[in-house]
Amino acid sequence: MRLGKSGLILWGLYFAFALFALITNTRETTFQFSGTLGGVKAIVWLALIAFLAYSVYCSYRENFFRSVRSIATMHWGRQIGTDLYLGLFIAIFIIFLNDGALVALIWLVPILIYANLVVLLYLALNFDSIVTKLLGL
């Protein structure tokens, strides 16, 4: 088993976007884990890293497009896909509320392609501002 050309391209695009997001994220203390919620922020980063590592491993073990094609023929597969994309649109709405329409549009395509890998990246990079707005601080 090996990672095909399409898999390499998709992962290359993900890591390029993640690097772009990290470099342009100037308002946050990205890797500062102090304060009351510093541990929660660390858990978000660990979840992102673990999920990313498992996703890369899965793409090495199985072809993503063939797997989706077979799952999409099942009722539960379609239900899970619908549920996933409803959740992704909720995440895009949260990005809109946190950063505005332009930033939400920038994150829209990567979220629709990479799903929760990008949602977790956004949450990790913008943890402080999201928590501040949610708690009204």
Question: Is-contact 8 60, C-beta < 8 A?
Answer: no
pLDDT at 35: 83
pLDDT in tens, 47-75: 999 999 999 999 988 888 888 889 989 99
pLDDT at 115: 96
- Hey, what's the torsion of the CAs at 117, 107, 86, 15, to 10 degrees? -20
pLDDT at 41: 95
pLDDT at 136: 83
pLDDT at 47: 97
Where the chain has pLDDT below 50, the residues are none
